[in-house]
Amino acid sequence: MFDYFYNEVFRSVIIGFGTLFNGIEVHHKDGNDDTSSVIRVPLAYGPTQKFLARMEQEANLNRPVQITLPRMSFEFTDLSYDPSRKVTQTQTIVTETPDGTTKKTFVPVPYNMTIQLSIMTKLNDDMLQIVEQILPYFQPSYSLPIKFLGNLNEIKYVPVNLDNIQMEDDYEGNFDTRRALVYTLTFTAKTFIYGPVTDVSSNIIDKVSIGYIAGSKGSKSAERYLTYQVTPRATKNYDGDVATLLAENVDITETIIEVDDASSIPQDSYISIGDESIYVKSKSGNKLIVDRARDKTTAKEHVLGAPVGRITVADNSLIELGDNFGFDGTVF
């Protein structure tokens, strides 16, 4: 049950969250109201206390290059299940990868990630500039597009809610020389956790054998030991193979169908015309003796020239999830 898998869901959300705040700048102006300097606010992952401790060891917070303040940090602090977004557990996601392999996984489980963004500045105007560049995008949420599951191209829009803002104005050391404004913004990212991804083909039953004992009515002893063996097959023409065309109009009751060329349609095989699956019992020339409306399909009228497709072994490898397999059974 607990085989190894790692879809990097939390990591993807954390990285995506960080990219939202990568381009924030602070502009300083001179006495003529001209921009004298532009500071791109550095962003790093880690707890606020780590950067405050480093700041305490810095002798001068007011250097021109501003490598200490302003700065921002963010941290993933809490994880909780979200029952309000729960969906049916048995639903699956099926998709085709660029290399043509069909993969599937069960629908993801909803979880809420709590992420805190801390903004630290020395000047109040720096703080106000940063906050104003963030708040307008959260009303109260921002939809963050994140690509999950690698080459499956599963893109989810993860709502990121702004829940709370806390403000602190801390003085360290000498009252006149050391100051740190700290704003803490708390966000909730409503993400999804995916299970293992498997090949669809690996879950298709190749063959089923059932053993049972047979005897005459009233007999208390077994007379024969029998095995019933069935092989699942596709019930649709997935590859779109067209074997021939109808040579006549066909109503819903006809059991002899004439086609242009029946050479590629063997007896004891299946064909499809439109949405109807048809079993070919035998043939005579270009006339097919058939059993209509197989595999829970409905007999329908078909017009002259309609394409006739073959359902072959090649379609078995293309079976879609949810196909009601047809079974050809043999008792031996």
Reduce the secondary structure of 245-291 to three states and give it as a string: EECCCECCCCCEEEECCCCCCCCCEEEEECCEEEEEEEEECCEEEEE
Same domain, 78 and 121: yes
**Where does a domain end: 199, 223, 246?**
199
Confidence of residue 318 (pLDDT cuts 50, 70, 90): low
Are the C-beta atoms of 50 and 57 separated by less than 8 Å?
no
pLDDT at 268 over 50: yes
Same domain, 87 and 189: yes
What residues make up the domain containing 316? 204-331
152 Cβ neighbours under 8 A, 6+ residues apart: 93, 95, 97, 103, 105, 197
**Where does a domain end: 139, 172, 199?**
199
Lowest mean pLDDT among 67-71, 187-191, 216-220, 242-246: 216-220
Mean pLDDT of 292-308: 89
What pTM was computed for the model?
0.54
Confidence of residue 297 (pLDDT cuts 50, 70, 90): confident
Same domain, 216 and 117: no
The domain spanning residue 171 has which CATH number?
A: 3.30.2000.40
pLDDT reported for residue 80 = 94
Nearest to residue 54, comparing CAs of 39, 42, 40? 42
2, part of any domain: no
303, part of any domain: yes
243, part of any domain: yes
Same domain, 27 and 163: yes
Lowest mean pLDDT among 11-20, 56-65, 175-184: 56-65
**Where does a domain end: 152, 174, 199?**
199
Mean pLDDT of 294-301: 87
User: What is the average pLDDT score of the chain?
Assistant: 77
pLDDT reported for residue 64 = 47
Q: Cα(first)–Cα(last) distance of the chain, in Å?
A: 36
pLDDT reported for residue 131 = 94
The pLDDT tens digits for 182-212 are 899 999 999 988 888 776 654 444 555 555 5
4, part of any domain: no
pLDDT reported for residue 184 = 94
Same domain, 166 and 230: no
Same domain, 215 and 128: no
Q: Is 188 left (phi over 0), alpha (psi -120 to 50) or beta?
A: beta
pLDDT reported for residue 317 = 61
Total domains, the chain: 2
Same domain, 150 and 210: no
- Gap between the Cα atoms of 94 and 103, Å rounded: 6
The larger pLDDT score, comparing residue 229 to residue 284, is at 284
pLDDT at 90 over 90: no
Same domain, 18 and 165: yes
Confidence of residue 26 (pLDDT cuts 50, 70, 90): very high
224 Cβ neighbours under 8 A, 6+ residues apart: 213, 214, 215
1, part of any domain: no
Exposure b/e, 203-236, CB count within 10 A at least 16 = b: eeeeeeeeeeeeeeeeeeeeeeeeeeebbbbbbb
The pLDDT tens digits for 146-177 are 887 766 666 788 999 999 999 987 665 555 55
Mean pLDDT of 45-65: 58
Give Dmax over CA atoms of the chain in angstroms: 111
pLDDT reported for residue 195 = 80
Nearest to residue 284, comparing CAs of 305, 265, 304, 308? 265
Highest mean pLDDT of the ranges 7-16, 51-60, 83-92, 166-175:
7-16
Same domain, 193 and 209: no
pLDDT at 332 over 50: no
Are the C-beta atoms of 36 and 212 separated by less than 8 Å?
no
Same domain, 184 and 53: yes
Same domain, 103 and 142: yes
87, part of any domain: yes
116, part of any domain: yes
Same domain, 52 and 181: yes
pLDDT at 145 over 90: no
314 Cβ neighbours under 8 A, 6+ residues apart: 239, 241
**Six-digit token pair at 232?**
């699942």
162 Cβ neighbours under 8 A, 6+ residues apart: 135, 138, 140, 141, 185, 186, 187
Mean pLDDT of 1-20: 84
pLDDT reported for residue 223 = 54
256, part of any domain: yes
pLDDT reported for residue 210 = 53
